[in-house]
Structure 1
Amino acid sequence: MAVSPIRGRTAIARATAYNSLPNQTDSTPFITATGTRTRPGVVALSRDLLRTFPYGSKIMIEDLSGRYNSALRGRVFIVEDTMAARKTGSLDIWMSSRSEAMRFGARQIRITAVR
């Protein structure tokens, strides 16, 4: 998996959260599109955003509403998964439980490449 040389590139996207339930993923709910195991810090991007932030990209996420920034601030996430083909302009953050993912909800975010 190559690391992206796009430091500083940004995009605005819709963010949601997912966890490893078969109805939220494919038939291998704990395995990402790159073959790694799901874990905190893993994100899935829609296929259109993968062109800008390819697998292996390290990113930071800012909640544009400001409500969830305390949980996101200072964290570096890694792009290791992808979303269903029908999704565009979207990011999914892996979370360990369904209730945590539901609390996150959906929000507008800014993605910034850090490496």
Structure 2
Amino acid sequence: MLKAPVWLSALLLAASLATGSCHGDAAETHSLRVSASAYNSVRAQTNNRPTLTAWGDRLKPGMKVIAVSHDLIRLGLKHNTVVKIEGLPGTYRVKDKMNRRWKHKIDIYMGNDIRAARRWGRRTVTIRW
């Protein structure tokens, strides 16, 4: 097995940090107050392929996923970014994009549980990534 020189490993790490391509459990660097609603993978709320996201991921109930408005993508909430949501346990991944008409908004994926989505309603929360 070939080992990369130490300087090459350091260079690759610095480049990935500079470009923001690390999606692990790195320290959060941004926070923002946004409007948060919930959605389900049902045709009435999406389209004729309710489990397929705008980025091409397949959704399954139980996944911790959010959709983001396009203005948030420009702020760094890109595909697969890890996000913490105030008031909810664990972390979520950005896997879907919302219609361009929305601004400063996320949609939290709640599988097929329409009642849970309605209970959530619409809230203002702080997200961190």
TM-score by length of 2: 0.73
The structure having more radius of gyration, on CA atoms, is 2
Contact 1:3 1:56 in 2 (8 A): no
Q: CA deviation at 1:26?
A: 2.6
Q: CA RMSD in A?
A: 1.8
- Identity over aligned residues, as a percent? 32
User: In the alignment, residue 79 of structure 2 is paired with which amino acid?
Assistant: Y
Q: CA deviation at 1:31?
A: 0.9
Who is 1:86 aligned against? 101
Is 2:71 the counterpart of 1:56? no
The alignment covers a number of residue pairs equal to 103
Q: Report the more deviating stretch, 87-96 or 30-39.
A: 30-39
Q: Structure 2, unaligned stretches of length 5 or more? A: 1-20
Q: CA deviation at 1:27?
A: 2.6
Give the Cα–Cα distance (whole angstroms) in 2 for the partners of residues 84 and 27 of structure 1: 16
Q: Structure 1, unaligned stretches of length 5 or more? A: 63-68
Q: Higher helix fraction: Structure 1 or Structure 2?
A: 2
TM-score by length of 1: 0.81
